[in-house]
């Protein structure tokens, strides 16, 4: 019997295809050359993360109109309202734009974060009702939202506001009638940065504004924008956008700033409450420790707590706010654990096995709408199927969160459902891998059937059981701390530039369950003598120690008290044939 550590049935293990390595000869380590080549790196300039390598903001469509709006608002002292989103990308975008505008001379800067349950996502007529009317020349700047806010922009205009949309999401068929739209994914935009997170687009907007102000008055005191790169790194990694060269550069520069002890107090406080070390912080720490604590506020309470933490200039007060975020995150974990059990029980009760369905839909009347996205993601990982999870929302509607598998564009699937059954979905939008939607309360069953059919029409066997791509095997002498540290420092790693993953044949020397649901092992290569510790998270039972096991793993740096060692983080395991 074979099994994978994440619950997915065994897959074929395939080593990455390598790009030509002629241009990587200056890299001394053959292992690093192999890893980079497996990610399509052919030349050293693809690993050059200096800020001077970034594409210029001038290529962003509408950037001149956008900065013109901001300059006018600053020079006339008009009110600028930054409208963010209730996730980590939205919070970092909001903090960045508010702080940068204030530092550049804006006298009236405020922000508004929609409440997930009361207002829903983005600039909407309900948000305009909440923020009230604007005076002539007052400006709303959306960050990490707005590209789909056709009705919201119209309502803002009626209420006397001008609107500048700063977003990164994919546009729909109709663009909002904003005074300016800065979005690298809008039609006609020639900017080479379609994968920017919302905070990345916000950073570029502020860079363009600074350049315009500096050109108009070279003696004007203006902030250095590299001081905001810690926010850019946090929001970019948290939003799981593709780490192309542009995003790797932004994240690398932000991490460098954090590691040098120059993070803003709010981020420094988040690092402390997460039990991480600023001097060693990497993208995994951001994704698995910092981002969840920040996101929890938007899921269960109010993201204004998160923005306040990120913006607070005093480290002691930032620590208090970070502590609140940590407490909210602990509550989120309890809620999520209960909902996860409910969802698995509901799928187990189906007449057919979940694996026999193309697309999975789950709903419970007592679920929290702020956590359904996490439930959809976990179910997708476990069953390797597209999933939509629903919970009750405001105004009697159901709020759904969709997560897809690689190769299947979930927004296109929802668009197909909408086209085939007009009116069934009340509203939807999102990315290729994640989307949100709303339904009438009695429409779940019909939607589930339509969703399953739409997925079945597009899914392929390779999507359902894809190859498990690794960077090959490590030699026994490479299972050491020096190599682990080299790999850790050779990123940043993340979506689209995956952290190195290896496989090999190991025998089990010892093993025990820790924390009730994790397996800690000591293993050695099948024909070797070197023992190394390994962790298999979520594996609540012991493995057969009489046979050889194939492990798929990351070689990680493990710090416990005063001891630093290398260990294996096992993502998949199976008994060797």
Assign 5 a pLDDT band (cuts: 50, 70, 90).
very low
Mean pLDDT of 188-210: 97
Assign 1 a pLDDT band (cuts: 50, 70, 90).
very low
Residue 83: beta bridge partners?
112, 142
- The pLDDT of residue 495 is 93
- The pLDDT of residue 437 is 93
Q: Which pLDDT tens digit goes with each residue over 329-348?
A: 999 999 999 999 999 998 88
SS3 196: coil
- The pLDDT of residue 528 is 95
Residue 46 CB neighbours (<10 A)? 18
Tokens of 340: 């996860």
Mean pLDDT of 520-546: 95
pLDDT at 293 over 80: yes
Sheet holding 139-143, edge to edge: 108-112, 79-83, 139-143, 162-166, 180-182
First to last CA, the chain: 10
Tokens of 503: 């496989």
pLDDT at 4 over 70: no
- The pLDDT of residue 85 is 95
Mean pLDDT of 497-524: 95
> What is the chain's percent helix, strand, coil content, to nearest 5?
40, 20, 40
- The pLDDT of residue 356 is 72
Q: Tell me phi and psi for residue 369, to 5 degrees.
A: -65, -20
Q: Which pLDDT tens digit goes with each residue over 120-167?
A: 889 999 999 999 999 988 999 999 999 999 999 999 999 999 999 999
Assign 22 a pLDDT band (cuts: 50, 70, 90).
confident
Mean pLDDT of 276-286: 96
- The pLDDT of residue 353 is 59
Assign 6 a pLDDT band (cuts: 50, 70, 90).
very low
Alpha helices in 219-314 (DSSP H): 229-238, 245-259, 265-273, 283-285, 291-300, 304-311
Tokens of 136: 């002539």
Residue 322 CB neighbours (<10 A)? 29
CB 407 within 8 A of CB 462: yes
Assign 7 a pLDDT band (cuts: 50, 70, 90).
very low
Mean residue pLDDT across the chain? 93
Nearest to 497 by CA among 253, 292, 241: 241
For residue 411, give every residue at least 6 positions away whose Cβ sits within 8 Å of its Cβ, in sequence order, or none.
170, 428, 429, 430, 431, 432, 435
Q: Which of the pair, 7 or 375, is modelled with greater confidence?
A: 375
Residue 520: beta bridge partners?
512, 535
- The pLDDT of residue 352 is 55
Where is average pLDDT lowest: 50-59, 134-143, 176-185, 461-470?
461-470
Residue with tokens 């803002």: 156
Where is average pLDDT lowest: 139-153, 296-310, 337-351, 386-400?
337-351
- The pLDDT of residue 265 is 98
The string of DSSP letters for 29-75 reads: -HHHHHHHHHTT--BGGGG---GGGSPPGGGSTTHHHHHHHHHHHHH
Sign of CA dihedral 488, 309, 201, 216: negative
pLDDT at 351 over 60: no
For residue 358, give every residue at least 6 positions away whose Cβ sits within 8 Å of its Cβ, in sequence order, or none.
385, 386, 452, 453, 455, 456, 459
- The pLDDT of residue 517 is 86
pLDDT at 10 over 80: no
The string of DSSP letters for 510-522 reads: EEEEETTTEEEEE
Question: Which domains does the chain carry?
Answer: 54-324 (3.90.1640.30), 350-464 (3.10.310.30), 471-575 (2.40.50.460)
Residue with tokens 């007529």: 125
């Amino acid at each position: 019997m074979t099994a994978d550590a994440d619950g997915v049935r065994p897959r074929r293990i395939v080593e990455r295809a390598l790009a030509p390595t002629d241009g990587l000869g200056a890299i001394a380590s053959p292992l690093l050359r192999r890893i980079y080549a497996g990610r399509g790196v052919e030349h050293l300039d693809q690993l050059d993360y200096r800020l001077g390598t970034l594409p210029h903001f001038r290529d962003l469509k509408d950037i001149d109109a956008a900065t013109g709006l901001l300059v006018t608002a600053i020079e006339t002292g008009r009110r600028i309202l930054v409208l963010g989103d209730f996730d980590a990308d939205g919070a970092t975008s909001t903090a960045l734009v508010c702080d940068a505008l204030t530092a550049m001379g804006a006298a009236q800067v405020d922000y508004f974060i929609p409440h997930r349950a009361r207002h829903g996502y983005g600039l909407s007529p309900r948000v305009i009702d909440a923020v009230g009317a604007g005076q002539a020349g007052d400006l709303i700047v959306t960050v990490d939202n707005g590209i789909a806010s056709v009705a919201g922009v119209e309502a803002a205009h009626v209420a006397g506001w001008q609107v500048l949309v700063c977003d990164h999401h994919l546009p729909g068929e109709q663009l909002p009638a904003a005074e300016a739209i800065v979005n690298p994914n809008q039609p006609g935009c020639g900017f080479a940065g379609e994968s920017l997170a919302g905070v990345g687009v916000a950073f570029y907007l502020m860079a363009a504004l600074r350049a315009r102000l500096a050109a108009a008055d070279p003696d004007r005191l203006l902030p250095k924008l590299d001081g905001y790169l810690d926010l850019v790194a946090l929001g970019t990694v948290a939003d799981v956008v593709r780490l192309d060269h542009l995003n790797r550069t932004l994240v690398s520069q932000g991490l460098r700033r954090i590691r040098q002890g120059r993070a803003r107090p709010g981020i420094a406080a988040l690092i402390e409450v997460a039990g991480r070390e600023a001097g060693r912080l990497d993208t995994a720490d951001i994704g698995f420790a910092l981002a969840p604590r920040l996101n929890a506020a938007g899921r269960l309470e109010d993201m204004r707590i998160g923005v306040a933490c990120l913006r607070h200039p005093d480290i002691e007060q930032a620590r208090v706010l970070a502590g609140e975020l940590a407490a909210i995150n602990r509550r989120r974990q309890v809620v999520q654990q209960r909902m996860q059990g409910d969802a698995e029980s509901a799928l187990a009760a189906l007449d057919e096995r979940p694996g026999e369905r193309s697309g999975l839909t789950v709903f419970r009347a007592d679920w929290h709408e702020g956590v359904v996205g996490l439930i959809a993601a976990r179910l997708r990982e476990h069953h390797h199927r597209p999933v939509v999870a629903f919970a009750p929302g405001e105004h009697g509607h159901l709020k759904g969160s969709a997560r897809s598998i690689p190769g299947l564009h979930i927004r296109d699937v929802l668009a197909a459902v909408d086209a085939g059954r007009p009116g069934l979905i009340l509203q939807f939008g999102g990315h290729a891998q994640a989307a949100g939607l709303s339904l009438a309360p009695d429409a779940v069953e019909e939607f589930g059937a339509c969703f399953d059919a739409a997925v079945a029409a597009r899914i392929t066997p390779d999507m359902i059981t894809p190859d498990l791509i690794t960077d090959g095997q490590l030699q026994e002498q490479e299972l050491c701390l020096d190599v682990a540290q080299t790999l850790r420092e050779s990123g940043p790693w993340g979506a689209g530039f995956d952290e190195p993953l290896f496989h090999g044949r190991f025998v089990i020397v010892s093993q025990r369950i820790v924390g009730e649901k994790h397996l800690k092992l000591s293993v050695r290569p099948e024909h070797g003598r070197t023992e190394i510790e390994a962790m298999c998270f979520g594996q609540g039972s012991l493995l057969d120690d009489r046979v050889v096991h194939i492990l798929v793993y990351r070689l990680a740096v493990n710090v416990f008290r005063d001891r630093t060692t290398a260990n294996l983080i096992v993502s998949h395991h199976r008994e060797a044939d």
